Every structure is written in structure tokens, then in C-alpha cells.
Amino acid sequence: MHERGSTRTHDERGQVLVLMVVSLVALLAMSAFAIDVGYLYWNQRDLQASADAAALAGAMELPDASASVQVAKQYGTGATGKNHDPRVTGVTESVTTKCLTSIPGCDPVNAVQVEESATVKTFFMRVFGKDFADVHVRATACSPCGIKPLDIVLVLDRTGSMCQDSRGRSDPSCTDLNNARDGMKTFLGFLDAKIDWVGLTVLPPAASVGSRCNTPSQTDYNSKSSPYTIVPLSSDYKRADGSLNTSSNLVSTINCVKGAGSTAYANALESAQAELDAHGRNDIQDIIVFLSDGAANTGPTYYSTSSPYRTQPCQQGVTSSGYAKAKGTIVYSIGYALDDATGGCTSYTGAAEKPAITVYGALGGIATTPSNFYVKPTPGQLNSIYTDIAKDIAKGTSSLTADTTP
């Protein structure tokens, strides 16, 4: 009996020893795997930081593709790069420039992409026949990116001439007005609704905000209660997927406004600035984008007959824009189909303004600088001009982007 008990105890101890050895081997394997995975992760993070730095540095040289690639390589993990880390071996690097159509400024490129790869030696995984592991990262940076928060009011001339052809004949399709609509929606497509607020001001004004989609009347100018700003600053003009939200107040109003009446710049510009003052955010850049297809030639009758709003409607537009510019607002102006405009700027009586001023002079004077004045001399699409303005307001901004297109 004693001998059998001793044998049983010895067998049990042998089984425990085998289990301990098996467990120890498994524990060592898990520890070895954790060490290798941690080392691979460290290499991956080191490469990613280098690729991010290289892409951001290269983006500062855009749109010069050659300079962008050269500078990005200077900041990469390559053997001669400023972020070269000798602990990361077997590094290969690829730098390319590309066009991201989702943001403005592709002239000819607006993004730089840096890809870095390394072949990393393992410590313990080689026991399982895995001597090396590949690590790959990618970083894309854009410039300009349109990442500055902005408060923007679009000012649309929806006068009767926007529904006429080049000979002044009625155009029931309102081709020019449709081109303006398309241009504004193109502009909205480049904005980030999470940070950019946009409102809409029109001339002539509406009889009321509720009638903003009705055909305007010339007499709407003559009531102080007629609203020029028919959509306040808003940020719901895009859906979560980035497409325009056609049911939003802004986009639906752009789509529904109708054209009629003559032209008066000043009060529309003042209303746009008043909206920025009343509902704009603190420490956010204010922008006005003003479009007109002709010279101002009228003014509200609640002003006296000697008021510059009536006798100098073009010059008063420049003056009213000056009020906005004095507050730091950047004003862009677009002259649309100006070669169709007949004559120069006139007063409400039809007499030439004194001193004389041309429609080019008026719209150029409304803009903050000559480079902020854009001209489409003949009828046609305005998408390229609104794209250029979106590019200009984003000038100097660079950022890493989530773009991962190979």
C-alpha cells in the first residue's frame, strides 16, 4: 500500500511538472509575441510621425509640385531626411502630389502624399519562421484646405437683367440667374459646414422673408421693412456625407429665387454686413461675396432726391462696401456679363453719375483689393470664379487630411 501511494504521488508531481513546462512555454511565447508587436507598433508610430511631418512641410510649397516633393523628402525618414531615425531600418519612401477635387485650389495640385515603409527584424517571432515584418504608413496634406472658420454672406443680384439674353430680350429660362445659382452651390461645396456659416442677401429685396421665393417688385426697394438678407447665417447647408442639403433654408432659397427689378448695390451690402455684425461669431473672419451683372441705377425712395443712394447709386455701393471693409470684412465682387451692360452708372433719373463712374470701376471699388474683383465679361458658367474665390479665402492654410487614395 505504501509503495503504490508513493508511485501515485510521483506520477502526479511529474504531471504537474509537464503542465508547468507547457504553461511556461506558452507564457514565453505570448510575452515574445507582445514584445515583437510592441516593437512593430513603435516603428509604425515613428514612421507615421515622420510621414505626417514630411507631408505638412511639403504642403507649404504647393501648388509648386516639384518644390513640394523636394521639401517633403527633406523632412522624411529617408537616409538624408531631417526625421531620419537610425533605429528604423530598411526604410523606403515615396512622395507624390495629387489633386483633391473635394477642396478648392487644384492648380495644378493641392495635396502631397507621403508613403513610408520599413522592413523590421523581429526578436522572438523568428522562432516561428517570421524573421521580418513589414510596416507601412501614409500621410496626405493639403494646401489650401479651407480649414479657417468663416462667416460668409453671399450677395446675389437677381434683377430683371439676370433673366434676359445678351440683347436684352426676355429669357424665360433665366439662364444667367441659373448660372449664378450653380456658381454659389459650387462655392458651398468647397466649404466645411461644421466651421463655415453662410447667409444669403439679395437685391432687389423681398417683400418679406416668407415671400423670398416670389418674383420681386421694384417697389420692394421703397419699403424700409423689405428684407435684403433672406437667409441668416446658417450651417445646415450640407449633409453628413458632404453633399448639399437641398432642403436647407440656404440651398432651397438659392434654388427658388426669381429675377426682376433694377439695381441698387448699397443697401444690400449694408444688410450683408449687418447680418455679420448681428449673428456672426467673435474672432471669425467675415466675408462678403457680391455678384452683379450691371451698373446700379436706382435707390430707395425713402431717401431724399439729393441722397447719394439715389443720385450716385454706384458710388454709394463703393462707400457702403467701405463700411464693411473698415470692420475687417473681406469683400469679393463678381462682375457678370458686363460686356452686355449698356452705358455707365446713372442716377435714379437716368442722368450719368457725377463724378462719372463705370460699372467696372464700381464693382472693382466694392472689392477689398483689385485681386478680389473677378470678371466674367460674357454670359456663361460661374463655377470657375466661385471656385477661385473659395481657393483664395483658404490661401495659406495647410492640414493633414483623411484622404487615403493610393
Residue, of 122 and 367, whose pLDDT is higher: 367
Work out the average pLDDT over 306-334. Answer: 98
Contact indicator for 226, 302 with CB cutoff of 8 Å: no
Whether residues 136 and 171 fall in one domain: no
According to the model, what pLDDT value does residue 313 have? 98
Whether residues 324 and 228 fall in one domain: yes
Q: Which amino acid is at 290?
A: F
Domain boundary at 95, 119, 142, which?
Answer: 142
Looking at the domain assignment, is residue 401 inside a domain?
Answer: no
CA pair distance 320, 99, nearest whole angstrom: 39
Work out the average pLDDT over 335-346. Answer: 83
Please tell me the least confidently modeled range out of 42-46, 303-307, 354-358. Answer: 42-46
Looking at the domain assignment, is residue 299 inside a domain?
Answer: yes
pLDDT of 1 above 50:
no
According to the model, what pLDDT value does residue 236 have? 97
Q: Which residues contact 104 (CB under 8 A, 6 or more apart)?
A: 110, 144, 146, 190, 387, 388, 390, 391, 394
Domain boundary at 142, 162, 193, which?
Answer: 142
Model confidence at 191, in pLDDT bands (50, 70, 90)? very high
According to the model, what pLDDT value does residue 44 have? 84
CA pair distance 231, 280, nearest whole angstrom: 13
pLDDT one-digit tens code per residue, 88-105: 777 889 999 999 888 888
Model confidence at 22, in pLDDT bands (50, 70, 90)? low
According to the model, what pLDDT value does residue 398 have? 85
Domain CATH for 336 = 3.40.50.410
Looking at the domain assignment, is residue 406 inside a domain?
Answer: no
Residue, of 160 and 5, whose pLDDT is higher: 160
Domain boundary at 142, 166, 194, which?
Answer: 142
Whether residues 109 and 76 fall in one domain: yes
Residues facing 333 on adjacent strands: 290, 373
Whether residues 203 and 100 fall in one domain: no
Whether residues 275 and 351 fall in one domain: yes
Whether residues 136 and 236 fall in one domain: no
Looking at the domain assignment, is residue 61 inside a domain?
Answer: yes
According to the model, what pLDDT value does residue 53 have? 92
pLDDT one-digit tens code per residue, 193-249: 999 999 999 999 999 999 999 999 999 999 999 999 999 999 999 999 889 999 999
pTM for the full predicted model: 0.80
Whether residues 51 and 130 fall in one domain: yes
Whether residues 232 and 359 fall in one domain: yes
pLDDT one-digit tens code per residue, 28-46: 556 666 676 776 777 788 8
How many structural domains is the chain composed of? 2
Whether residues 74 and 205 fall in one domain: no
Please tell me the least confidently modeled range out of 132-141, 218-227, 302-311, 336-345. Answer: 336-345
Residue, of 303 and 147, whose pLDDT is higher: 303
According to the model, what pLDDT value does residue 188 have? 96
Whether residues 333 and 309 fall in one domain: yes
The mean predicted confidence, pLDDT, of the chain is 88
Looking at the domain assignment, is residue 403 inside a domain?
Answer: no
According to the model, what pLDDT value does residue 29 have? 59
Whether residues 108 and 228 fall in one domain: no
Looking at the domain assignment, is residue 15 inside a domain?
Answer: yes
Residue, of 43 and 130, whose pLDDT is higher: 43
Residue 110, domain extent:
2-142
According to the model, what pLDDT value does residue 129 have? 63
Alpha helices (runs of H) in 98-248, residue ranges in sequence order: 175-189
Work out the average pLDDT over 364-390. Answer: 95
According to the model, what pLDDT value does residue 4 have? 52
Looking at the domain assignment, is residue 20 inside a domain?
Answer: yes
CA pair distance 316, 310, nearest whole angstrom: 9
pLDDT of 67 above 90:
yes
Residue, of 399 and 132, whose pLDDT is higher: 399
Contact indicator for 245, 239 with CB cutoff of 8 Å: yes
Whether residues 232 and 103 fall in one domain: no
CA pair distance 221, 212, nearest whole angstrom: 14
Looking at the domain assignment, is residue 205 inside a domain?
Answer: yes
Model confidence at 343, in pLDDT bands (50, 70, 90)? low
